[in-house]
Amino acid sequence: MSGAAAAPTELAFSRRRRRLRFASRHLTILVGGTLLVLLIALALAAPAITPYDPIALDVTHRLRPPNAQHWFGTDNYGRDILSRTLYGGRISLFVGIAAALASSVTGTAIGLAAGVFRWADAALMRVMDGLMAIPSILLAVAMMTLVRPGVLIVIVAITIPEVPRVARLVRSVVLVIREQTYVQAATSIGTRLPRLLLHHILPNTLTPIIVQATYVCASAVLLEAYLGFLGVGIPPEIPSWGNIISDGRTYVQLAIWIVLFPGAFLGLMVVAINMLGDGVRDLLDQRLASRF
């Protein structure tokens, strides 16, 4: 970013932009972070604070609207929605974080390999292209029908479509950095590859990876819900937001609370993660910009 000196011809929106960056950086991280911490706390504390067992049936109390005994109402089996929502948060968080981590690690490895080793580049990128050409939901659905459903498989099915994007991102950063003079200088004095990777290349890929990871996390939480909606998600025994909403969609007109509460929590969690991602990106961008 070229110097935005306080010259008489500086545009009004350049000045505002500077002020915005400062304020919003902190505001979005604050709001997003607080919301996320709150949701995580609720999810982690679920076993301690939930009044009912999330999978316990009570067929005599089906489809009750929110009341004193069941703050969020009950579903078509008589199960307590509040307990299921909080437990569902654990699964969604777990899936989101695991998918984000897994795709980041895998994508980074592939991206580094493609960027650093020219001979591997073409082959790896073709495979990444192939994977990206198959719509992620379809790929996930196809994978879910392959094996016995379980949380682990859902994570794998969600991770795989996200890997190509991370790989491409990392690869493009590596390609840019590779051309930088200081890297070429380092190579010319004989710096070995591992040191090169560790000290020069990897640190510069961190920002985009972290930012991308937050978006992957948000997208994973959503994708779990979509897989549940299509009937190929986490096994129904385990309460996840996708399952609860999918089960409850028949009852949208009769018992909207089954979909409303998990849906609201789902939306809030994704909003929080996205805001956090935005804030982190703005923050790290500043620092990064000053380094170059």
Write out the residues near another protein by the rule CB under 8 A: 1-2, 4, 9-11, 13-14, 16-17, 19-20, 23-24, 57, 59-60, 62-63, 76-77, 126-127, 129-130, 132-138, 141-143, 145-149, 218, 222, 225-226, 229-232, 235-237, 245, 247, 249-254, 259, 263, 266-267, 270-271, 274-275, 278
Q: CB 194 → another protein: shortest distance, Å?
A: 32
For another protein, give the closer residue by CB, 4 or 193: 4
For another protein, give the closer residue by CB, 62 or 200: 62
Residues 6+ away with beta carbon under 8 Å from 41: none
SS3 74: strand
CA dist 220 → 103, 166, 269 (Å): 10, 14, 12
For another protein, give the closer residue by CB, 12 or 189: 12
For another protein, give the closer residue by CB, 202 or 230: 230
Cα 120 versus chain centre, distance: 28
d(CA 139, CA 141): 5
Q: CB 20 → another protein: shortest distance, Å?
A: 3
Q: CB 286 → another protein: shortest distance, Å?
A: 14
Q: Which residues of 78-115 are buried (b: 16+ CB within 10 A; e: fewer)?
A: bbbbbbbbbbbbbbbbebbbbbbebbbebbbebbbbbb
Q: CB 202 → another protein: shortest distance, Å?
A: 25
CA-wise closest residue to 160 among 115, 107, 97: 107
Which residues lie across from 80 on neighbouring strands?
74
For another protein, give the closer residue by CB, 77 or 94: 77
Q: CB 102 → another protein: shortest distance, Å?
A: 19
For another protein, give the closer residue by CB, 78 or 197: 78
**Encoded tokens for 53:** 């067992």
Q: Which backbone phi and psi does 117 adopt, to 5 degrees? A: -95, 100
Q: CB 261 → another protein: shortest distance, Å?
A: 12
Q: CB 10 → another protein: shortest distance, Å?
A: 8
3-state SS of 22-72 is: HHHHHHHHHHHHHHHHHHHHHHHCHHHHCCCCCCCCCHHHCCCCCCCCCCC
Cα first-last separation, the chain: 10
For another protein, give the closer residue by CB, 179 or 237: 237
